[in-house]
Amino acid sequence: MAARNVGSRLLGLSAFFFSIPTVFSTPTLDNGKLLSVNGIDYYSGGDAVSTFITSANFNSTQFEDVVPITVIRTDQSVFTKEVLSEIISNYSATDDVFQSGFLETVFLRYEGHGRSQVDSTVKQAFKDLGNSLVMASSAYRPEAHLMPAKLRRDLPKGPYFYSPKTGELYQAFRLYSDHQLAFTEAALSDGAGGFTSLPAAVSVSKSSVAVPSRLYYTPTSEKPLAGLRVGIKDIFDLKGLRTSGGNRAYYDLYPPRNTTGPALQRLIDAGAVVVGKMGTVQFANGDNPTADWVDFHCPFNPRGDGYQAPGGSSSGPGAGMASYDWLDIAIGSDTGGSMRSPGGMQGLFANRPSTGAVNLDNVIPLCHALDTAGVFARNAATWSKVMHAWYENFTDYTEYPKKLFYQNSSFPSADTPAGALIEDLVRKVEKFLGTKRELVNITSHWEKTQSPEIPAISSLLNTTYAILTSVDQYRSLSVPFYADYAEKHDGRRPFINPGPLARWTWGQNNGGNVAYDEAIQNKTIFKNWWETKGYGKADERTCSEGIYIYPYTKGETQYRNAYFSAPTAPPMGFSDGRIAVLAGVPDLVVPVGEIPYNSTVSLKTEYMPVTMSFVAARGCDLMVVNLIEDMEKAGILKPVSTGPRMYPE
Ligand SMILES: *[C@@H]1O[C@H](CO)[C@@H](O)[C@H](O)[C@H]1NC(C)=O
Ligand SMILES: *[C@@H]1O[C@H](CO)[C@@H](O)[C@H](O)[C@H]1NC(C)=O
Ligand SMILES: *[C@@H]1O[C@H](CO)[C@@H](O)[C@H](O)[C@H]1NC(C)=O
Ligand SMILES: *[C@@H]1O[C@H](CO)[C@@H](O)[C@H](O)[C@H]1NC(C)=O
Ligand SMILES: *[C@@H]1O[C@H](CO)[C@@H](O)[C@H](O)[C@H]1NC(C)=O
Ligand SMILES: *[C@@H]1O[C@H](CO)[C@@H](O)[C@H](O)[C@H]1NC(C)=O
Ligand SMILES: *[C@@H]1O[C@H](CO)[C@@H](O)[C@H](O)[C@H]1NC(C)=O
Ligand SMILES: *[C@@H]1O[C@H](CO)[C@@H](O)[C@H](O)[C@H]1NC(C)=O
Ligand SMILES: *[C@@H]1O[C@H](CO)[C@@H](O)[C@H](O)[C@H]1NC(C)=O
């Protein structure tokens, strides 16, 4: 029942942690308002989205300053009790913002042809729902219990907040607590192409994120992502907000950004709704939880016992997606595994795209030659939809390769729990593609096909990634940041987490700019080989000659409370995960299953994710995601849940 419980609280910033006035008498909502409806916290936008025109004898003094309202749009020519109850169950099923408390006041908007009428049974039905005012558009036949009203600007259906005194309507946002510390800052559109941080928190210890009603949005061909709630790794600039890069000094030093970068702008233009900035390993480089996370606390991975590392560097986007049903997708970056590692540790769909998939201006760089931006999702259908809308210039292949490249030494033995899950998936992929795996050995294939003066792949590429990232970020971020900071702080140096600091230092001590140029050459040698003689050849019909698969995570634990030695250098060596990085090709991680472990935290059996990677030729991102989406449709891959288990029993 709609027991009425609307407490209005002023949200002036100064008022907000202290005593909270219970009465708010100014009709305009300068900063918006924090409200509670049936014990659930909401935020009402500060800018009115429309205004009611009501009859002159409407007596607003019987209402509080702000009341919940539902705009119901229907084309039923007779509005019956049954129609009402079906609409309520439809709204409840599709939207987590709407609830019965919003039926306190209602506006019926007829969108069919001709005129409509409200059946006499509806009056009592509304009363039973706690309703005290039904307004109706002029297409409804007048009735004593209906107040004629008109919206100055038409609105989509859904829950809103209404000020009877002024007639103004405000959007309704539900406030969710960020209990996993996945976000760095909640964001709201400022209505003028930029963003503001949300001036609201439900508790002092945890901040909140505000999400708008899903009922406001209907996807169209121009806006295929309409209403999709997205969180953004805090290395991407959003107009109106500061960018932290996971560093407090950096956040404080630079003003709010005056531009939203082109990659995010494409998502926003496609209809995605940005709800906040999310946690990142400092400067998307390398921090191990939790000792290295000095400036910000490491987001929490909900899988297993809840005390496993979330993976990095896109830790916040990964943790948020694995934790919160109310978040639809999250955007991160991948230079050396920063999408795939959180995807693997948290059992999500997570991709590293081909380099150049989207323009990365206005994004904090780790290495310009290697940086990419990817999407986290909990199901392949959403993942695919976002990639199709977001990435530029890729061709949409729907015929799949017949070659499945399989390096035996990469895979765990099929008689281990993780190995068995992966082997089962590989067999299903073989069947789906109508092929058998082709056993490959990259090292020996390299020796056979590479010119003799080129050394073994493990020596050519051992330090390539380490040099490229440590030298580029030192030049493009550290040098200007130190200078800007010193200028403002009397020559002082800003605090840098141990991870990035050790890596920058290592790069300068191991060849600096000279080594960088050599690393670019080595990378180019590998890329050319991969595309012409390796396993990344293009194909006219199927985009890629084949698909190279390898296991990503095998259900390993990585406890947050483990001690480890201090960071000294970037990661070295060549492995499967480096193929996409150095060849610029797509690498898509998908959830496979989960395996049990005995938790030293909970002292119970818990489960960690097993995931597998699909790698294809450069530019074949959409082919691979189409394949993965088709395998989800066929039941071979399954959407994952939020929380401790990907696949709760
Ligand atoms: C409006 O409603 C209030 C409270 O119900 C009542 O006291 C007042 O007399 C009403 N005013 C008019 C003009 O009907
Ligand atoms: C409720 O949703 C169903 C399924 O989308 C739809 O067919 C039906 O028309 C909706 N009912 C009303 C009254 O809008
Ligand atoms: C935006 O900020 C950048 C960097 O601070 C500055 O160079 C540029 O002129 C600004 N642009 C506008 C339109 O204010
Ligand atoms: C996509 O192609 C257009 C036209 O050639 C080009 O202007 C644009 O930069 C390309 N986008 C990316 C991300 O490379
Ligand atoms: C693949 O590796 C397993 C060990 O994981 C080994 O037992 C098996 O013989 C290898 N198969 C081939 C074809 O090399
Ligand atoms: C792959 O080839 C290398 C080089 O020839 C060889 O040393 C290695 O044992 C091979 N790996 C497997 C699993 O056969
Ligand atoms: C990779 O480089 C590191 C650091 O220079 C070195 O210690 C290691 O032996 C190298 N490994 C290989 C396989 O060359
Ligand atoms: C580049 O490759 C050479 C071998 O040709 C190797 O000695 C060198 O360490 C590599 N350097 C980098 C930075 O990748
Ligand atoms: C957990 O511990 C029990 C008791 O030592 C053992 O029997 C069981 O195999 C362990 N389970 C896992 C998943 O390691």
Q: Whose CA is nearest to atom 6 of ligand 9?
A: 598
Pocket test for ligand 9, best of 598, 599, 600, 604 (most atoms within 8 A of CB): 598
| Contact 415 CB / ligand 5 (< 6 Å) | no
Q: Which atom of ligand 5 lies nearest, measured to the CA of 412? A: 5
Cα distances from 532 to residues 427, 446, 529, 545, in angstroms, run: 28, 12, 5, 11
Q: Any idea which of 39-48, 309-318, 606-615, 620-629 has the lowest mean pLDDT?
A: 39-48
What DSSP assignment string belongs to 469-531?
Answer: HHHHHIIIIIHHHHHHHHHHTTTPPPP--HHHHHHHHHHHHTTHHHHHHHHHHHHHHHHHHHH
What DSSP assignment string belongs to 34-68?
Answer: EEEETTEEEEE-SS--EEEEE-TT--GGGS-SSEE
> Is-cis flag, bond preceding 290, omega within 30?
yes
Dihedral-angle region of residue 32 (phi above 0 means left; psi in -120 to 50 means alpha; beta otherwise): left
Q: Which two tokens stand for residue 393?
A: 């210039």
| Contact 630 CB / ligand 8 (< 6 Å) | no
Single out the residue of 60, 61, 66 nearest to residue 28, CA to CA.
66
| Contact 359 CB / ligand 4 (< 6 Å) | yes
Residue type at 256 in one-letter notation: P
Q: Which atom of ligand 5 lies nearest, measured to the CA of 413? A: 5
Cα-Cα-Cα-Cα torsion 140, 143, 146, 148, nearest 10 degrees, comes to 60
- Taking the C-alpha atoms of residue 576 and residue 383, their distance in angstroms, rounded to an integer, is 23
**611 contact partners, CB below 8 Å, separation of at least 6:** 343, 344, 347, 551, 552, 553, 589, 590, 591, 592
Q: Which residue segments constitute the domains of the chain, with CATH numbers given?
A: 2-172 (no CATH), 178-196+219-390 (3.90.1300.10), 403-619 (no CATH)
CA angle, 329 then 330 then 336, to 5°? 135
| Contact 466 CB / ligand 8 (< 6 Å) | no
What DSSP assignment string belongs to 626-645?
Answer: HHHHHHHHTTSS----SSS-
| Contact 392 CB / ligand 4 (< 6 Å) | yes
Single out the residue of 136, 100, 94 nearest to residue 116, CA to CA.
136
- Taking the C-alpha atoms of residue 314 and residue 206, their distance in angstroms, rounded to an integer, is 20
Q: Helix or strand or coil: residue 82?
A: helix
437 Cα–ligand 5 center, Å: 13
Tell me, rounded to whole angstroms, the distance of Cα 559 from its chain centroid: 24
257 Cα–ligand 3 center, Å: 8
| Contact 408 CB / ligand 5 (< 6 Å) | yes
Q: Whose CA is nearest to atom 11 of ligand 8?
A: 519
Express as a percent the part of the chain with pLDDT over 90.
89
62 Cα–ligand 1 center, Å: 7
Interval 569-582: pLDDT, tens: 999 999 999 999 99
Amino acid 426: pLDDT: 98
* 408 alpha carbon, closest ligand: 5
- Are 499 and 569 a contacting pair, CB within 8 Å? no
479 Cα–ligand 3 center, Å: 20
**Burial label, 444 (beta-carbon count in 10 A; 0-12, 13-18, 19+):** exposed
Mean pLDDT of the chain: 93
> Is-cis flag, bond preceding 313, omega within 30?
yes
Q: Which two tokens stand for residue 629?
A: 């989406």
Model confidence at 23, pLDDT cuts 50, 70, 90, reads very low
Interval 383-403: pLDDT, tens: 999 999 999 999 999 899 999
Interval 95-145: pLDDT, tens: 999 999 999 999 999 999 999 999 999 999 999 999 999 999 999 999 999
Residue type at 386 in one-letter notation: V
| Contact 596 CB / ligand 9 (< 6 Å) | yes
In this prediction, residues 404-429 reach a mean pLDDT of 98
- pTM, 2 dp: 0.94
| Contact 439 CB / ligand 6 (< 6 Å) | no
- Taking the C-alpha atoms of residue 596 and residue 571, their distance in angstroms, rounded to an integer, is 29
- Taking the C-alpha atoms of residue 225 and residue 270, their distance in angstroms, rounded to an integer, is 5
- Taking the C-alpha atoms of residue 108 and residue 150, their distance in angstroms, rounded to an integer, is 10
Q: Whose CA is nearest to atom 11 of ligand 1?
A: 59
| Contact 203 CB / ligand 9 (< 6 Å) | no
| Contact 524 CB / ligand 9 (< 6 Å) | no
pLDDT at residue 164 greater than cutoff 80: yes
